[in-house]
Structure 1
Amino acid sequence: MIRRSVLLALPCAALLLSACGHDSAAPAVEPPADAVLLGRLFDARAGTVLEQGVVVIAGARVRCAGARHTCAWDDTAAQHDYGDALLLPGLIDLHVHARPHFIGAFVPSGVTTIRDAGNTLDMLADLRATPGAPRLFATGPLLDGAVSVLTPDGPAPFDAAALGTQPAITLTSPDDAATVVDALAAAGVDWIKLYEQLPPAVFDAATQAAARHGLPVMADLGTVLTRGLSGAHVDALQAATAGVGTLEHLGGAALAYQRLGGDPAADTLDPVLLDRIVAELAQSVVALVPTTANGIQFATPDSLTRDDLPGADRLAVDVAEHWSALSGILAEPRVQARARADQALMAALLPRLLAAGVRVGAGSDLPAAPYMLPGPALHQELEALVRMGLTPVQALQAATHVAADILGRSDLGRLEAGARADVLVVSGDPLADIRATRTIQAVWADGAQVDLPQAWASVEAALRLAREAHAADAEG
């Protein structure tokens, strides 16, 4: 028996695979439903909740999603009634430096898609081949100038024979930029990542080469804490003019503010200069991935809640040593002062940029900051975005449909007919308290329900093997 069918009342655009407007063609047959998820439904585009919502899944896709009376399904489909729980699109983390030992922690944390912001091509192949890995978009090696923190032992010229093992590549001329981008495009990267110490002419050549291949560019142009005022050559406004797709960490904004005559470390920031930066960025296509939690953890260490994160008890022990090393850096007064300057600039610019229509996407920058748990760190980023002035709805959108738009993927980050069937089911109301995204009842990835206990057991096994390998290397 078919239930709740009102297909005849729907407009033509709402009929998936219909023959509206094509009288000579026979109507296509919808695939049968495999699963029906009932609950409150978050409409990521509108930022609203349907109290009596449904997601009908067929294969790896959403066949129908919306109010229950607008969808049809057969009684043979398995029904999952989640009561008052909220059905969200699978979350997207736009800035990760993934590793095999923790790649499995993303999906059971509700993060079904990630964008890797810098890795070797060989490592990316290993990550994609790991069972339980999230959907992965990636840049491959980072591109920077001859003097770079990425290559402390000196320049690392492009080596075609060793491209798979190069984590960073030195560009010294526009010709270098074109050659390397051509090679990375042939290798199948999804994005090109440009770093802070590229000379302007080389930076522009790289963005132009990427555009020829239809590849978007992400750029880390430095902050007050890093080398944004001491070693960077290209500021945020120049990068936006060059056609960069995303500015990471709001990089290059401090340098742009300084070049306009302001002091980014001043106690009070000039609203005229801030508004000028916002206006120029809003005229471009650039989006922001501010990695807000990263900055907060450097400015006010361990101030974002983490004990209630999915998998917290399993993950914390494996990053404690890493956190301890980073915490030693945080003890330096100059580091604290610079981190606070970055936070002040972020707090001043981020709400302005969002109000001006600049897209803001969510990214964690794992594992660059202390006290961020690999996998569920995106939930910390959502908390941080709200702390920086976004509403909970805007934060959720930054990790769903806005993030998908930044990736150029209309089939991700939303629960709509034809989208990938990635669903995060959470208790509570993250629109009232963003930390409710952490109370996970279920995760669906590509239409399959994730066995959460088994997924976390696999993560624990991978972490244990990594610890054993590390201990063996230390003994050897």
Structure 2
Amino acid sequence: MPQEPEALASTVARGPATYDLVIRRAHVFDGRQALDGLYDIAVDGSEVAAVSAEPLRGGQEVDAAGGWVMPGLIDTHVHFYDVRAVSGPDAMRDFEENELPGRLGLFLDHGITTIKSVGDPTDGILDTRAGIAAGTLRGPRLLATGCGITGRDGHPAATVFSGNPWARERFTGEVESVRQIRDLVHHLADRGVDAIKLLSEGACAHSGGPKYLWRNPAFPDGVALERLPLDLLRAGIETGHERGLRVTVHTTQQAAAREAIEAGADGLEHGVTVEPLSDHSLIDLMLEHDITYTPTLWIDDAHPDARGNLRKVAEAGVHIALGSDTFSGRGLFGANTLEEAELMVAAGMTPTQVLAAGTSGASRQCVRADLGTVAPGKRADLLVLNADPTADIGNLRDLGMVILNGRPVVDERLSPTP
């Protein structure tokens, strides 16, 4: 007769249970700081019910054995659909039936309990979000902007999707007028997106300015681009705010970052990557406007100034959110998010700062106050780790258990019964 797993043991013999689930004797990183001592964390339904220094009882109990509990990680910048494979209805259907479920599961397997898609085909990603919410798909909580909004022939329409017109029409929304961008933002809001993403391809000039070639190893000859015109940028941000949506802007240059902030953006995707952040007044502007900076080092670490720029804004006290810019074809979903955390530490942030960026800081970016914190009333998205992530960010890889909405969905602590 198989024995009951030690990591999830019934407490019937100990008397009536007070809570649905209790994680016993754990160190806690609560989303902002490490708490002193050991705690029992109680879960009722999908919420954290108590964080107690005194022992608690649960219908199920997990013995953390002095390990660590922290909020599930949130990756705020993900491209989920395969931009190369999806080139028509049949390819889309094949991806959604054969690739999508496994890729969703990879995030949970690595401790990422929420992802934010920032530029996937609107219909597909919202259907995926609905499938996860309905329980027909196993995956992390999914937030989505729908397509990314860019100027006519802007990035990524004229770059990533230049040879894939079918995907270009669905992954991107190209606009040429204030009316078009307002209409598109209203359309996305009507569809129920969680936020809006605009692309002010931040390393190029406005129409009439100096010629700019967007360069990438995949496009060695460069691609001529223009930045989203300022009146369209302002209109997109204003319309998003009218609909109660947070609006973040893809930038890479100081000039573009300043323009986005002054136009009313809530956050910078990538921030400043292609040049050193030498203008301290721009950092002051980020602080004044309460901007969230998402560094995406997983993709931008090739730029020699990206790490130093992150270090400058972090030291100044700018809000930081973890976002990897993960996409199909490189690395592994989930693992890329952990690599992003490690790169942020390598850039000069402390492990505690990075953990906050991937939990409470990311929840702020997503306007989800119910996420990213271990506290009563918050969503019970929790990780049980075997070692201290505040001492070594690499300990995020020493994962014992993942709890999503109060339910264990990954348990690496259990050994198969012979």
Which TM-score bucket, shorter chain as reference? 0.7 to 0.9
Number of the residue aligned with 2:151: 145
CA 1:148–1:64 in 2, change beyond 3 Å: closer, same or farther? same
Number of the residue aligned with 1:420: 379
Which residue type is aligned with residue 286 of structure 2?
A: L
Name the SS of the counterpart of 1:102 in structure 2. helix
- Identify the structure with the greater helix proportion: 1
**Could you list the runs of 5+ residues in structure 1 that have no partner in the other structure?**
2-30, 157-161, 255-263, 300-338, 454-476
- Find the aligned partners of 1:398 and 1:154 in 2 and give their Cα distance: 28
Q: Could you give the per-residue CA deviations for residues 228-254 of structure 1, whole angstroms, max 9, x where no partner exists? A: 59xxxx610111122212211114x65
- Find the aligned partners of 2:160 and 2:337 in 1 and give their Cα distance: 34
Number of the residue aligned with 1:68: 53
Q: Could you give the per-residue CA deviations for residues 248-294 of structure 1, whole angstroms, max 9, x where no partner exists? A: 1114x65xxxxxxxxx3xxxx5x8x3322211221112111101122
Alignment check: 8 A CA contact 1:37 1:79 kept: yes
1:59 to 36, 45, 54: 45
Q: Could you give the per-residue CA deviations for residues 367-386 of structure 1, whole angstroms, max 9, x where no partner exists? A: 2784x321221111110000
- Find the aligned partners of 1:283 and 1:400 in 2 and give their Cα distance: 23
Q: What is the percent sequence identity of the aligned residues?
A: 28
Name the SS of the counterpart of 2:35 in structure 1. strand
How many residue pairs get aligned? The number is 344
- Find the aligned partners of 1:53 and 1:423 in 2 and give their Cα distance: 14
- 1:80 matched to 2:39? The reply is no
Q: Could you state the TM-score of these two structures normalised by the residue count of structure 1?
A: 0.67
Runs (4+) of structure 1 exceeding 4 A deviation are 153-156, 162-165
1:361 to 312, 315, 321: 321
CA 1:368–1:384 in 2, change beyond 3 Å: closer, same or farther? farther
Name the SS of the counterpart of 1:152 in structure 2. coil
Name the SS of the counterpart of 2:265 in structure 1. coil
Alignment check: 8 A CA contact 2:31 2:372 kept: no
Q: Could you give the per-residue CA deviations for residues 22-44 of structure 1, whole angstroms, max 9, x where no partner exists? A: xxxxxxxxx95101002333333
Name the SS of the counterpart of 1:435 in structure 2. helix
CA 1:163–1:208 in 2, change beyond 3 Å: closer, same or farther? farther
Name the SS of the counterpart of 2:233 in structure 1. helix
Number of the residue aligned with 1:404: 363
Structure number with bigger Rg: 1
Number of the residue aligned with 2:174: 170
Alpha-carbon distance, 1:348 to partner:
3.0
Which residue type is aligned with residue 181 of structure 1?
A: V
Number of the residue aligned with 2:308: 348
1:275 to 280, 284, 291: 280
Alpha-carbon distance, 1:102 to partner:
0.8
CA 1:154–1:353 in 2, change beyond 3 Å: closer, same or farther? closer
Which residue type is aligned with residue 105 of structure 1?
A: L
- Find the aligned partners of 2:281 and 2:369 in 1 and give their Cα distance: 32
Number of the residue aligned with 1:246: 267
Number of the residue aligned with 2:196: 192
Name the SS of the counterpart of 1:36 in structure 2. strand
2:141 to 119, 135, 139: 135
Superposition CA RMSD, Å: 2.8
- 1:291 matched to 2:277? The reply is no
Number of the residue aligned with 1:16: none
Structural mapping, 1:196-275, within 5 Å: 196=201, 197-221=227-251, 223=252, 235-251=256-272, 264=275, 273-275=278-280
**Could you list the runs of 5+ residues in structure 2 that have no partner in the other structure?**
1-10, 12-16, 82-99, 202-226, 413-418
